[in-house]
Amino acid sequence: MMQQGSYSDAADAYAHTADRTFEQVVLGLVEHGAHEGLRAYVSARLEQLPPTAKTQRLMLATWLVEMYLGAMNRLEDQVASHGDSATLTAQQHALESALRTFFATYQPALDPKTTYAILARHGRDDMWLAYAEAIRDTRQILTRWVRQEQWATALTTLASQSDVELYYHFAPIL
């Protein structure tokens, strides 16, 4: 499948066999520029790891965030060079939805400080906010709305939670 260019199928097959090491499969997919296949393979391997393999889960989950963001950037580049097409826009929405689902599913495996830094470095405010919502980080959400001077949204967010400390912290600003 790899030789025929069916990288996603090859990645799925490799994820369920011990025929090749993790490194061999990853390097093979990278050499072929098979971004989707690589993401599928790493995702499958992450799913197979037990919750007790915290360090491995952290590394794979963090890498997957980078891969999702890289795919989003590549799609934006295609839209910029080829013009806005319905197909590319649909792919962008599907990718954003997949990353939101990933955050909801694998948020325990991610380090918040690292994940916020990656999202900020890529300039993905929408995904930054989606991650903050997935981990229920109300302080970060409120900080973002205040920085953007979205006062009504900040007040609504503040009113929807019960942490008195957040009221004291944000009341003078709001």
Identify the CA nearest to 127 among candidates 101, 160, 166, 148. Answer: 101
At residue 83, does pLDDT exceed 80? Answer: no
- Buried/exposed 55-90: b ≥16 CB within 10 Å, e otherwise: eebbebbbbbbebbbebbeebeeeeeeeeeeeebee
Which pLDDT value is given to residue 156? 94
Least trusted range by pLDDT, from 12-21, 53-62, 116-125:
12-21
- Cβ atoms < 10 Å from Cβ of 157: 19
At residue 134, does pLDDT exceed 90? Answer: yes
- pTM of the model as a whole: 0.85
At residue 30, does pLDDT exceed 80? Answer: yes
Which pLDDT value is given to residue 135? 96
Percentage of the chain with pLDDT > 90?
61
Least trusted range by pLDDT, from 18-27, 42-51, 156-165:
18-27
Burial of 120 (0-12, 13-18, 19+ CB in 10 A): exposed
- DSSP 8-state code for residue 49: S
Can you tell me the mean pLDDT for 25-37? 86
